[in-house]
Amino acid sequence: MSILPRIDFSIRSKIRQLLPAQPCVLCGQMSHAGHWCPACHASLPYLKGPHCPVCALPNSLGDICGRCLQHPHAFDRTTAAFAYHFPVDRLIQAMKYADQLVLAHALGKQLAQCMAPESLPDCIIPMPLHPLKLRERGYNQALLLAQVVARAHALRLLPAAVRRIRDTPAQSSLHGHERENNMKDAFAGAMDLRGLRIALVDDVMTTGASLNALARAVREAGAASVEAWVVARTLPHRSAEATQF
């Protein structure tokens, strides 16, 4: 067996040790490992086990779930790094609402590691913000995440391919069909995407209504395939607990 992977790991480990230690954002312990220490890293709620390939909700066999068969989405599949559960939910909220933009790099890196190099799309499109919301917040967290993923895999980033043309109420304040109605006609394609394989990037998928509406606009612009890449997937309460063990 080649020793090259072990040499590479050794070099990277030594480089990390040369970097200044910083407090883990979760427990406060000083660490050379990045934004969180190895112990906290191991305890994060990774999305493991069989799940529906389309919506990423857990099921027993890993087949397409009945809900996705009865109500097909405009995207073909979903990749999620984590369950939207403590402490990842707090990290995303800090990135999104408390200007902790350094977390976008750490979370984007985790998302990038979920992608198989042999099955990458042609382009990445981040979830757009309406200009009024962008002016209010000052940044688009989905774009920050997408930039990290695009760099990691040398993928073309298309932040202006789709425009958000309706300033909709926050999805987090709505439930069920309200979310779907809220996102109706919220996006419009701004460039020709004919024949391209597209990945949509966002921070969290809850019902999938926002990503579905965006995927529909991307399809209308000619995309050959569309998938969703999210940092975290909101799960039913019982499933969210199961991801920790």
Interacting residues of 180 by C-beta distance below 8 A, sequence separation 6+: 207, 209, 212, 213
Distances (CA, A) of 177 to 170, 180, 181, 200: 14, 5, 6, 22
Instruction: Give residue-wise pLDDT tens across range 77-88.
Output: 999 999 999 999
Give the burial string for 2-41 (b: 16+ CB within 10 Å, else e): eeeeeeeeeeeeeeeeeeeeeebbbeeeebebbbbbeebb
Instruction: Tell me what pLDDT residue 24 has.
Output: 87
Strand partners, 227: 77, 199
Q: Is the pLDDT of residue 14 over 50?
A: no
Q: Same structural domain for residues 63 and 27?
A: no
* Contact criterion met (CB below 8 Å) for 57 and 49: no
10 or 176: which leads in pLDDT: 176
Instruction: Give residue-wise pLDDT tens across range 120-159.
Output: 999 999 999 999 999 999 999 999 999 999 999 999 999 9
Q: Same structural domain for residues 84 and 126?
A: yes
**pLDDT (mean) for 227-242:** 78
Q: Is the pLDDT of residue 160 over 70?
A: yes
* Contact criterion met (CB below 8 Å) for 121 and 197: yes
* Residue ranges in 140-208 assigned as alpha helix (H): 141-153, 176-182
Give the number of domains in the chain.
Answer: 2
Mean pLDDT in the chain? 87
Q: Same structural domain for residues 53 and 117?
A: yes
- % pLDDT > 90, the chain: 67
Q: Report d(CA 200, CA 242) in Å as an integer.
A: 27
**pLDDT (mean) for 94-101:** 91
Q: Is the pLDDT of residue 239 over 50?
A: no
Domain CATH for 102: 3.40.50
CA atoms within 13 A on the CB side of 88: 29
Q: Same structural domain for residues 109 and 15?
A: no
171 or 57: which leads in pLDDT: 57
CA atoms within 13 A on the CB side of 125: 33
19 or 197: which leads in pLDDT: 197
Q: Same structural domain for residues 18 and 50?
A: no
Confidence at 93, pLDDT banded by 50, 70, 90: very high
Q: Same structural domain for residues 17 and 135?
A: no
Instruction: Tell me what pLDDT residue 25 has.
Output: 86
In 3D space, the residue among 65, 87, 61, 88 whose CA is nearest the CA of residue 77 turns out to be 65
Report CA Rg, the chain: 19
Confidence at 178, pLDDT banded by 50, 70, 90: low
Q: Report d(CA 104, CA 84) in Å as an integer.
A: 15
DSSP, res 227: E
In 3D space, the residue among 195, 185, 189, 183 whose CA is nearest the CA of residue 221 turns out to be 189
Q: Same structural domain for residues 131 and 27?
A: no
User: Which residues span the domain enclosing 15?
Assistant: 1-43
Q: Which pTM value belongs to this model?
A: 0.85
Q: Same structural domain for residues 50 and 39?
A: no
Residue type, 104: A
Nearest-10 Cα torsion for 134, 138, 144, 146: 10
Q: What tokens does 39 get?
A: 């112990």
